[in-house]
Amino acid sequence: MSVRTPDPDPEPEDDGLGAFRDANPSAPRSNPGWLSDIELEEARRHLPMLYVEAIPVRTDGSGQVTEIGILLRSTPMGEMTRTIVSGRVRFGETIRDALFRHVENDLGPMAFPLLPPQPLPFTVAEYFPIPGVSAYHDDRQHAVSLAFVVPVTGTCEPRQDALEVTWFPPEAAASDAVAAEMEGGRGTLIRLALANLGLLR
């Protein structure tokens, strides 16, 4: 399944892994990091694409993770699927800035993510266009994704094709039922995040 949460004003290199479509303008506008449709397609045929992915979490007063946020979306075919915050890193952009931008794009400006000065991923996921090469799949491209757990303290209001963000307790987020609804193998990514947090039982 392929899904995305587009930005309110489409930004060509911000499409998430497994995006429904590429809303890329033919001209690069004012950002030299933007690619035309043809340039992006050509790059995808020859180069791995760099992404960041964020698993939003809520914590209690002692810093323990109490809830995992997972986006619910409807595909163009009317299917319901779940995913996480994701998008490309722009040319010249720091990983921290890319994370902040995509969390804000997908969860709204009032999400208030807590990002350290130098965020460290809990894993690196490789998405391949051929199923079975790894646990992760994106039929458009080979992508390398840095995955982060990101605490959020504000109100999350998903944008555009995301219907809602559902907050699961850790044990429910790790369930087979949730994993079956995740696109691109992201159920594995959720479980890796929980294991990294010491919450996988």
Give pLDDT tens digits for 128-156.
999 889 999 998 899 999 999 999 999 99
pLDDT of residue 36: 81
User: At 159, is the pLDDT very low, low, confident or very high (cuts 50, 70, 90)?
Assistant: confident
Q: How much is the average pLDDT of 60-74? A: 93
Residue 17 has pLDDT above 80, yes or no: no
Q: How far is CA 157 from CA 32, 48, 74, in A?
A: 30, 31, 16
Listed in sequence order, the DSSP H helices in the chain are: 37-46, 95-107, 170-173, 176-181, 186-196
pLDDT of residue 83: 93
